[in-house]
Amino acid sequence: PSPLGDTPQIVMGACWHLLWSGDRELAQRWWPDIRRCLALLDANDADGDSLEDRPNTPYPEQPDPGTFNHEMLYVQCFWHQAFDRAAAVAAWLGLQEARTLSEKATSIRSSIAAKFSRPDGLAVWLDAEHCPHPHVGHEAIIAAAEGDVDERIARLVVETALRAPIWTADGPLRAEPGKGVAAGNHVWAFMRWKLVQALLRLGDTDRALDLVERWAAQERALFYQAPE
């Protein structure tokens, strides 16, 4: 529903490229567009909670969440990461706005915990009253893998992903069975590597490496790989 250039993922990619390349001339050229994209968060945050109110910004193939169409978890995760990386670029360039961008990233992270937390980790979608969608979804793994929530919440997310009803030998299902979510009975390959990343971030290396060995062997045998 929105141009590809108007998403937080584009900001994340641009900022990582600049930090890796050290290209200050390119950074000066890109910075106005980075700031323009970042401004879209506040432009689409009607309730002022530092969370974007458009549920399908990342990709158009998201299933219709019904009334839970106010805020989506991994949209907010991407915004947190975008502001965090932009703050790093601004600091590298010596820009005064580095502090403001860092504070915004912290605000987004706090709001994710405050609005999306539930006993099993994190909700995937919220309605206008911030009530959580009832299904358990694998998108919460992104927050655990990327540091978008604190360790306590990240551990809840990981433990939920590693047990029924969404755990399988091939990885976590897209969504809890029986909730009518599109492709809920599928394991998305990239998310199982996000789960490995989350386990490593939490220091659970034995479990992480067990999954790495199992899934890497499977992917080699089946001649496919995850995009990430």
Tokens at 184, concatenated: 């809920």
Q: What are the tens digits of pLDDT across the range 73-118?
A: 989 999 999 999 999 999 999 999 999 999 999 999 999 999 999 9
The Cα–Cα gap between 122 and 115 comes to: 9
Beta strand pairing call for 125-126 and 167-168: unpaired
**Whether 108 contacts 52, CB under 8 Å:** no
The Cα–Cα gap between 23 and 26 comes to: 5
Closest CA to 86 of 74, 72, 75, 97: 97
3-state SS, residue 176: coil
Residue type at 219?
E
122, containing H or E segment: strand 121-122
Q: What are the tens digits of pLDDT across the range 16-64?
A: 999 999 999 999 999 999 999 999 999 999 999 999 997 665 555 566 7
pTM for this entry: 0.92
